Chain A
């Protein structure tokens, strides 16, 4: 190669070297953009890369009865979680989970998809897997990247069906609930109280999840914990319920439909609140069989009759009629009304229950003792529908008692306007008379009915019926007691209430089959037998409070489609309830 050639060659290499240099400087320019201009951004992305927040459920608060008997608690269980980042082949790994748990693959995928969290955040896809499934999964876990079995807890109701309607149950949060509660830190698959106290006191029972900020490597393996906020367990709840009384109530209801309530009229504490038929809340946790579901649906087992069932109050309503008559001075406690076994109004015979017998001359005291229909027909008719409605309102029949449970219903107080718009018919005297004995259109819930008698017991003061006695801080063990609240005052004169109470006392004293005697305690009681529209099928009531002069307890027993033809047959049952109460809580001054 000659010199000129070499010179040319050198020139070419110089050109190439300059070109190379320019290209390398281009790389520097790009580096400047990435590192200096966008450096902060990428530093943030790098942080997100290595940091994961792991949160674990806090133990849910226990529910206990007033004497500390556990009604609901957490027991260990297993959950399956998925970390999407670690999944190698989601169809395969989730497929195994689906196969083992019996869940649908598509459902699992949807859950993962809808979780809306980063690829490193574990997502709970199946809760409360059985031990068998957990063991099988644990065996396969090493071959299932991204799938993890974690120790968790599930709700358990050790008393089984006892107080099921009071307790409610827990379940997976629903889509609509989630939307409403997202701001409160709920995420998909979270457990939330459904129905009963579990729902009512969700905010107390639910603790705060633990949060752990961890540093992970690219494989998702935790390298170290940077910050940790321990879980705060939920508060425990002490109910006003006394398991012993609750058991007795449920036993009395047996296999029937109905409700039984024991309440302390002095403060509204519900010592027993039973609805039948009942259900086992544990089945909601483990999964309900279709057989159970069919049975429950057919019998309305999930329906809480005590607070949401509305029934004709029948003769238990006569306290309202009596109050209305006395307060409007339509009658006095000395007014005498003759019962000839019934009376004819507007060409129609309104029978007294004793018909074809008769009660003869009745004053209000004897009328309560005999539960004389003729007497209360007459009082209602004379008082008039407007005043009757006024006092029905005063007793709160169409209002909520505000008992601390979800799903309470109100009763119903008919008015002429309502009848006109509903049936295009005028209101007749006969309608007023029917209402006077708690028949016709008027409806009450059992919780309202016992509240009415409680307010009579307390000379017009209704303490708000409630189940929450106290909540207990899990750490400090400090108890926050519920302060009883006056829900309403009747605004009815003492004289009137004294007269009504005297009448109710005579029911237990001289009321024939309705008589109840528990030691020498003065008991005020009232029965009620409501027609249901089906021949010889009745809804039967009996409600009482005692001791008359210093009431400590109100009890109510009610059967829908009763096994009894006459409510007076329930007197021995009510006797047992009162007897049991006074055995446990003592006589006059018996409190806790």
Chain B
């Protein structure tokens, strides 16, 4: 492996994002110590993230010694296992407020199958779309994609985790957009999706509807469903231009924003580092997207190209929806901010995704010579 063959811009983007996340938790732990007089939960988040990151990176580096094409053969087993886990979580899962999202794993908060399933779906869709042309028509491939994705979407929705379910759907749709569809075909696809969306809305659970209504007007119910959003906006806004830093931050150490370490981590960034920090983080995501695009542009293998599209779509959708919900621009969902939010399954999934992107870039290089 030669150094110049690494996608440097991409790797720098990922490293900066991971570093940003770690710095956020470390500073938050200092703010917590300042306010509470002792280290609190943020310090343990910081330590656990460091540990998980180490493990994920070791696996990621080891994967670089394996040709990504192996993934073609691993995709179907992965799909079976991933879907199996999604079924299992409905029976053995744990979660807050009656949901079942985590499979208990000793010594941790559990495994979140819907996180890993994102990668699995990306792989299976890429696989279907690149099946040999002779056997399948375009229409059949699309039907196959739908048949492969829908069970996962429904299973995740059943947990219930509408956010992650929509995310799986969104990733698949963006991947389909990059399939050789004409403008007209895309339009038909859009209409079908709109119909499905309408059906889903009708089938929404009351609390899910409330969440969406809350998103539209959080002040209507300030102590109930709107509470999270209001507190999140307050914490973010209180950061001002340069942030409140270690001594000035209060909302995070006093845990005014629910799940601020995970779903609402962006408000933590907002309070600690202000507009400057938030804008920098957005910039890092823009960098990630463009570096991903640059990797994509240099690829010749269609399977790899679809994978990269899917991964890029996943990062964008998660980042946009997560940051949007923090500042009241999108509904509250349990979608983590890639590389930043605390959570083992999420971090592992994102590092694996990044590892695949690096891998496909490097293998392309090797093929050329």
**Chain A positions near chain B (C-beta within 8 angstroms):** 1, 5-6, 8-10, 12-14, 16-17, 20-21, 23-28, 30-32, 34-36, 38-43, 45-47, 49-50, 85, 119, 215-219, 223-224
* Surface stretch bound by A, among B15-23, B55-63, B148-156, B230-238: B230-238
Per-residue A-contact encoding for B247-287, CB less than 8 Å = 1, 0 else: 00011011111100000000000110011001100100110
Q: Do A24 and B275 touch across chains, with their CB atoms under 8 A apart?
A: no
Within the complex, the shortest CB–CB distance from B301 to chain A, in Å, comes to 9
Which residues of B in the span 205-227 have a Cβ within 8 Å of any Cβ on A? 223
Whether, in the assembled complex, B365 has its beta carbon less than 8 Å from a beta carbon of chain A, the answer is no
Q: Closest CB-CB distance, A8 to chain B, in whole Å? A: 8
B250's contact among A25, A30, A31, A215, by CB below 8 Å, is which? A215
Chain B's closest residue to A45 (CB) is: B234
Q: Does B79 contact A (CB under 8 A)?
A: no
Shortest CB–CB separation between residue B235 and chain A, in angstroms? 7
CB distance from B204 to the nearest CB of A (A): 24
Q: Which of A5, A8, A28 has the most CB of B within 10 A?
A: A28
Given known contacts A20-B320, A50-B250, is B300 in contact with A6 (CB within 8 Å)? Answer: yes
Q: A14-B297, A34-B270 are in contact. List 13 more A-B contacts (CB 8 A).
A: A5-B180, A13-B312, A17-B293, A28-B279, A31-B270, A31-B279, A35-B237, A35-B239, A35-B270, A45-B238, A50-B256, A215-B35, A218-B254
The answer to whether A46 touches B255 (Cβ under 8 A) is no
A496 vs chain B, min Cβ distance (A): 79
Whether A50 and B254, one on each chain, are in contact in the complex, defined by CB atoms closer than 8 angstroms, is yes
Q: Tell me the minimal C-beta distance from A450 to chain B in angstroms.
A: 63
Verify B329–A49 contact, CB threshold 8 A. no
Query: What are the 5 tightest A-B residue pairs by CB atom distance, in nearest-first order?
Result: A42-B237, A39-B240, A46-B238, A35-B275, A217-B254
Would you give 23 A-B contacts (Cβ < 8 Å), ordered by A?
A13-B297, A16-B174, A17-B290, A21-B286, A24-B282, A28-B278, A31-B282, A32-B279, A34-B327, A35-B237, A35-B274, A35-B275, A42-B235, A42-B238, A45-B234, A47-B250, A49-B234, A50-B250, A50-B256, A215-B254, A216-B254, A217-B255, A218-B257
User: Is the CB of B78 closer than 8 A to any CB of chain A?
Assistant: no
Least CB distance from A226 to B in Å reads 11
Residues on the A chain within 8 Å of B327, using CB: 27, 30-31, 34
Select one of B180, B233, B293 contacting A13, CB under 8 A: B293
Residues of chain B lying within 8 A (CB to CB) of residue A46: 234-235, 237-238, 250-251, 256, 271
Contact residues in B for A24 (Cβ distance below 8 Å): 282, 285-286, 289, 316, 319-320, 323
- Chain B residues whose C-beta falls within 8 Å of the C-beta of A31 in the assembled complex: 236, 270, 275, 278-279, 282, 327
Are the C-beta atoms of A49 and B250 separated by less than 8 Å?
A: yes
Contacts of A216 in B (CB 8 A): 254
Decide if the interface of chain A is mainly helix, strand, loop or mixed.
Answer: helix
A17-B289, A17-B293 are contacts. A50–B251 as well, Cβ < 8 Å?
yes
Interchain CB contact under 8 A, B282 and A27: yes
Nearest chain A CB to B328's CB is how many angstroms away?
8
- Inter-chain contacts of A217 with B (CB < 8 A): 253-256
Q: B237 near A34 (CB under 8 angstroms)?
A: yes
Chain B positions within 8 Å of A32 at CB level: 275, 279
Instruction: Please give the residue numbers on chain B whose beta carbons come within 8 Å of chain A beta carbons, in ascending order.
Output: 35-37, 174, 177-178, 180, 223, 231, 233-241, 244, 250-251, 253-258, 270-271, 274-275, 278-279, 282, 285-286, 289-290, 292-293, 296-297, 300, 302, 305, 309, 312-313, 316, 319-320, 323-324, 327, 329
Q: In the docked arrangement, what's the CA distance between A45 and B232, Å?
A: 12
Q: Judging by beta carbons under 8 Å apart, are B312 and A17 in contact?
A: yes
A41 to B239, CA, bound (A): 11
In the assembled complex, how far is the CB of residue B219 from the closest CB belonging to chain A, in whole angstroms?
12
Residue numbers in B under 8 Å from A14 (CB-CB)? 293, 297
A357 to chain B, nearest CB (A): 88
- Chain B residue at minimal CB-CB distance from A27: B323
A163 to B208, CA, bound (A): 67
Chain A residue, CB-CB nearest to B329: A30
Minimum Cβ distance to chain B for residue A13 (Å): 6
Total A-B pairs in contact (CB under 8 Å)? 151
| Chain B nearest Cβ from A74, distance in angstroms | 35
B290 in contact with A43 (CB, 8 Å): no
Min CB distance, B284 to chain A, in Å? 10
Chain A residue nearest to B179 (CB atoms) is A9
Which of A13, A42, A223 is within 8 Å of B296, CB to CB?
Answer: A13
Query: Nearest Cβ in chain A — how far from B39, in angstroms?
Result: 15
Given A9-B305, A27-B327, A223-B35, also A20-B289 (CB < 8 A) = yes
Q: Give A46's nearest chain B residue, CB to CB.
A: B238
Chain B residues whose CB sits within 8 angstroms of the CB of A26 once the complex forms: 329
Asked if residues B251 and A39 are in contact (CB atoms below 8 Å), the reply is no
Residue numbers in B under 8 Å from A38 (CB-CB): 237
B290/A39 in contact, CB under 8 A? no
Kindly list chain B residues whose C-beta atoms are within 8 Å of the C-beta of A17: 289-290, 292-293, 312
| A36 CB contact (under 8 Å) in B241, B244, B257 | B241
**Contact (Cβ within 8 A) A223 B236:** no
Which A residues are in CB contact (< 8 Å) with B235?
42, 46
User: What is the CA–CA distance of A217 and B254 in the complex, to the nearest angstrom?
Assistant: 4
Q: How far is the CA of A43 from the CA of B323 in the complex (A)?
A: 20
Set of chain A residues within 8 Å of B223, measured between Cβ atoms: 85, 119
Cα-based distance from A223 to B312 in the complex (angstroms): 43
CB-nearest residue of chain A to B251: A46
Closest to A219 in B: B255
Closest CB of chain B to A112's CB: distance in Å? 14
Residues of A within 8 A of B278 (CB): 28, 31, 35
Decide if B240 touches A16 in the complex (CB within 8 Å). Answer: no
What is the CB-to-nearest-CB distance from A249 to chain B, in angstroms, rounded to a whole number?
Answer: 59
- Judging by beta carbons under 8 Å apart, are B36 and A23 in contact? no
Q: In the complex, what distance in Å separates the CA atom of A40 from the CA atom of B250?
A: 15
- Shortest C-beta distance, B313 to chain A (Å), equals 8
Nearest chain A CB to B146 CB, angstrom units: 20
CB proximity of B282 to chain A, nearest CB, Å: 5
Q: How far is the CB of A335 from chain B (nearest CB, A)?
A: 88
A46 to B296, CA, bound (A): 44
Is A39's CB under 8 angstroms from B286's CB?
no
Q: A35–B320 contact, CB under 8 A?
A: no
Distance between B314 CB and nearest chain A CB, rounded to angstroms: 12
Distance between B137 CB and nearest chain A CB, rounded to angstroms? 15
Q: Which residues of B contact A119 (CB under 8 A)?
A: 223
Per the bound structure, the CA–CA distance linking A23 and B257 in Å amounts to: 25
